[in-house]
Amino acid sequence: MHNYFNMAKVKYYYDTKTLSYKRIELSGLDKLKRMFYFLMGSGFLGLVMVIIFFQFFDSPKEKILNREIENLTTQFEVVQKKLSQVELVLDDVQKRDDNIYRVIFEADPIPSSIRKAGYGGVNRYQELNGFKNSDLIIETSKKIDQITKQLYIQSKSFDDIIELAKSKADMLAALPAIQPVSNADLSRMASGYGYRIHPIYKTRKLHAGMDFSAKTGTPIYATGDGKISKVRRSRRGYGNHVVIEHGYGYKTLYAHMTKYIVKKGQKVKRGEVIGYVGSTGTSVAPHLHYEVHKDGRKIDPVNFYYNDLNPEEYEKMLEISSQNNQSFD
């Protein structure tokens, strides 16, 4: 019978035969087993400690990466705020474009469906999913894309406005906006547009222009910018006369000239002398018969003298031109 007991880390047993304690000697295999179990336990314990450590504490690299992520997140948030400010400014520019600039130049506003249109098709931001801050990154990317597209549309709109402004300036210069002869005191206004007594046939006929009485040789001026589309010498009808093509549907005719000093195809400016008053063709006295045509229809020239007359003078011109008198042609 053997009794075992431990003394410190050394194990002994009691030998009943010799009535003494003897040391237990381990075999090599037992030693290896014990070393293996010790190493396994130590490794497992170390692994558990490492896992616990990294669960609650960051490594130096992770700390650096986390700081960079925080900085990037802050920068994205700052960019978001700036983009929101840009959107407000762009929205104001778009409203001015539609409600002021395009109104001035008689252009239709750009529909909101075009200005605010997004990008169709596949998900453009799919590759940005799956990150910690994906929502912030995707929202910022969408804003940038939307603003970029709106800026492009607004840029094209401003290009259109510039062209409209140039066209408007050209149109204003082309309109027949002055009197065709010098007539500061309106004394040369002889007969207006409407039904008048014909000086030769003595019947009421439509007088499709205005007559300005003046001495033979009085200068005649182009009433707007344009190109000479017709010059003709004649002893009948309009006599020696000139037609100016102003564009935008406008033409002006200058009749009964003693002579003209322009050629067909020549460009002229408002106020430029194109000929001189006479009494050629069907005319009873020296005068200028002046007509304004819009889209092929003869209209009353009195409505176009806004560059020459103030409101009081215009009222007087209307009164004189409406008198039911005899025309000069």
Domain ranges of the chain: 2-56, 74-174, 189-321
Secondary structure in 3-state letters for 122-154: CCCCHHHCCCCCHHHHHHHHHHHHHHHHHHHHH
pLDDT tens for the chain, 329 residues: list them: 445 444 446 666 666 777 776 676 666 676 777 777 777 777 777 777 766 666 666 666 766 776 776 777 777 777 778 878 888 878 878 887 777 777 766 677 888 777 776 665 557 667 767 666 777 777 777 888 888 888 888 888 888 888 877 778 888 889 999 999 998 888 888 788 877 776 666 667 778 888 999 999 999 999 999 999 999 999 988 999 999 999 989 999 999 999 999 999 999 999 999 999 999 998 888 999 999 999 999 998 988 887 777 778 878 877 877 777 655 65
User: CA 46 to CA 66: how far, in whole Å?
Assistant: 26
User: CA 281 to CA 32: how far, in whole Å?
Assistant: 138
The predicted structure's pLDDT at residue 121: 53
User: CA 28 to CA 276: how far, in whole Å?
Assistant: 138
Write the single-letter amino acid at 223.
T
The predicted structure's pLDDT at residue 110: 81
The predicted structure's pLDDT at residue 37: 74
> For tokens 């344009």, what's the residue?
226
CA dihedral sign of residues 227, 233, 237, 241: positive
Alpha helices in the chain (DSSP H): 28-56, 60-96, 102-104, 112-115, 134-174, 311-321
In sequence order, which residues have a C-beta less than 8 Å from that of residue 105 and are 6 or more positions away?
Answer: 161, 164, 165, 168
The predicted structure's pLDDT at residue 328: 60
Write the single-letter amino acid at 33.
K
Q: Could you name the CATH architecture of 189-321?
A: Distorted Sandwich (2.70)
Write the single-letter amino acid at 175.
L
C-alpha radius of gyration, the chain, whole number = 50
Contact assessment for residue 96 and residue 110, using Cβ atoms and an 8 Å cutoff: no
In sequence order, which residues have a C-beta less than 8 Å from that of residue 243 and are 6 or more positions away?
Answer: 228, 229, 230, 231, 251, 252, 253, 254
Which of 94, 92, 113 is CA-nearest to residue 158?
94
